[in-house]
Structure 1
């Protein structure tokens, strides 16, 4: 009654779809669904990689700006402060301003797809 059941068999290819099974045209080309789906998948992957690269560049820029603000607050030259940002994120434009007891550094740099990223950081002037 509860004996062993026969092993399940899995078809080599599922019918239809992108596997070239029963839904493939007679000429052997991909199914029309694949012709639409594959470019969409590629676009989503490219946008995802671009977003990750942009986020990584944003983090590096923010870190560089924070370091540059501390350097400026300790009395380093503006050239040294700009160089600190430029070595981390190339093509960055840097602006150094004083706001009372604070020294603030802001920077912007190009990212993928023509987007510009910005970051700002402040440190107490005369800090250690």
Structure 2
């Protein structure tokens, strides 16, 4: 009786499939989440540079439009460091498990004004 049970391998593929599929789905979810976070970071890098340049040359209205285009989930911090105007954008791009991940980008631009041109 026991010998007949050892020879019969029906169901082993189903058991292996039941173990492998959740692991593959978890890895796939991590890859997609990583791509999503990287894309969000690239957006923040681009917009932080744009905002820093606009504010450094005095185009505050255009900079405010860029901030408004990002939506309300982005924190903006500004700092002046000597001749540089720096902008830091901080955001939590997603809900669920990714809600605990904060993406941050910082960009600086040289300030210009009427007194700088000669």
Coarse TM-score class (shorter-chain normalised): 0.7 to 0.9
Q: How many residue pairs align between the two structures?
A: 102
Q: Give the structure, 1 or 2, with the largest relative contact order (CA under 8 Å, sep 6 or more).
A: 2
TM-score, reference length from structure 1: 0.70
Question: What residue ranges of structure 2 are gaps of 5+ in the alignment?
Answer: 1-7, 114-118
Question: What residue ranges of structure 1 are gaps of 5+ in the alignment?
Answer: 1-21
Residue 37 of structure 1 corresponds to which residue in structure 2?
Answer: 20
SS at structure 1 position matched to 2:108: strand
Q: Which structure dedicates a bigger proportion of its chain to helix? A: 2
RMSD: 2.2
TM-score, reference length from structure 2: 0.76
In the TM superposition, residue 39 of structure 1 has moved relative to its aligned partner by 0.6
Residue 85 of structure 2 corresponds to which residue in structure 1?
Answer: 103
Moved over 6 A (4+): none
In the TM superposition, residue 76 of structure 1 has moved relative to its aligned partner by 2.2
Residue 123 of structure 1 corresponds to which residue in structure 2?
Answer: 109
Q: Which of these two proteins has the greater Rg computed from alpha carbons?
A: 1
* Residues 15-37 of structure 1, C-alpha deviations (whole Å, 9 max, x = no match): xxxxxxx8542xxx952111110
